[in-house]
Amino acid sequence: MEIFRLGEVGPPKDDDFHRFKIFVKDEINWKRRHKKKNVEVFTRSTPHTNMKMIKVVAIFPDVSSHVIYDMLHDNDYRSLWDNTMKESTEICRITWNCSIEHFGCDIPSWAINLATTKVAPRLVKSLHRAALCYPGWKAQNRPEFKPWRNPEQQDKSVPALCYSDILREPDFSLKKVHEKHVSKEKALKEVGLPLDTRLDEDSS
């Protein structure tokens, strides 16, 4: 099920959210890779790329969804607890609460796939600890500044979407990229795993 097709860009509608909920709740095409206590990690193959999608299901009985939402959008705070956050660039804005951003990485897809099954559970623990501390931190750090909720606080220098920039066809080859030139040691170091980590058969 595709949420958006190539060349289709626009503000999410109710139907899009409905399709997305069906997509993530599907129990057939997601493969469970980890289950321990209140955390489950699933992966799913994607067309045209070696990269796998990841779904994490976690229960935080002592943290509200509003706190999770705010802390994940607060880049000032996220840089303090999320070591996987290298950089991000907001390219353009579709609506006041919907934008296109670029996230870059320089590691092979098999290493990222491995990270989802090995690192994701640890990242969830870090997220939980950070969520518990966020209300106290935010109270001391511009508590009124929440541009993800308040459009008047957003960066006015980010341009609006120019629809003529949207491609109807990909401008790159959809063939699988040869990634053997990246060493296992370099990739494992990049995703924060020990060099003696064993690779899953399904990670490549």
pLDDT at 204: 43
The boundaries of the domain holding residue 110 are 63-167+176-203
Question: Could you tell me if residue 73 is inside a domain?
Answer: yes
Question: Could you tell me if residue 44 is inside a domain?
Answer: no
Q: Return d(Cα 88, Cα 99) in angstroms, integer.
A: 12
Look at the chain and report how many structural domains it folds into.
Answer: 1
pLDDT at 178: 56
pLDDT at 155: 86
Give the tens place of pLDDT for each residue, 104-128: 656 666 666 666 667 788 888 889 9
How large is the average pLDDT for residues 178-189?
Answer: 64
| Position 129 pLDDT exceeds 90 | yes
Question: Could you tell me if residue 113 is inside a domain?
Answer: yes
pLDDT at 176: 55
Question: Could you tell me if residue 141 is inside a domain?
Answer: yes
| Position 132 pLDDT exceeds 80 | yes
Highest-confidence segment of 22-36, 94-108, 137-151: 137-151
pLDDT classification of 3: cutoffs 50, 70, 90: low
Helices and strands: H and E segment counts in the chain:
6, 5
Question: Could you tell me if residue 9 is inside a domain?
Answer: no
Give all strands of the β-sheet with 52-58 in edge-to-edge order. Answer: 31-36, 39-45, 52-58
Question: Could you tell me if residue 17 is inside a domain?
Answer: no
Between residues 175 and 22, which one has the greater pLDDT?
Answer: 22
Question: Could you tell me if residue 36 is inside a domain?
Answer: no
Summary mean pLDDT of the chain:
80
Q: Return d(Cα 110, Cα 199) in angstroms, integer.
A: 9
Question: Could you tell me if residue 20 is inside a domain?
Answer: no
Please answer whether residues 111 and 185 qualify as being in contact, where contact means their C-beta atoms are separated by less than 8 angstroms.
Answer: no
Look up the pTM and report it.
0.72
Q: Return d(Cα 159, Cα 108) in angstroms, integer.
A: 31
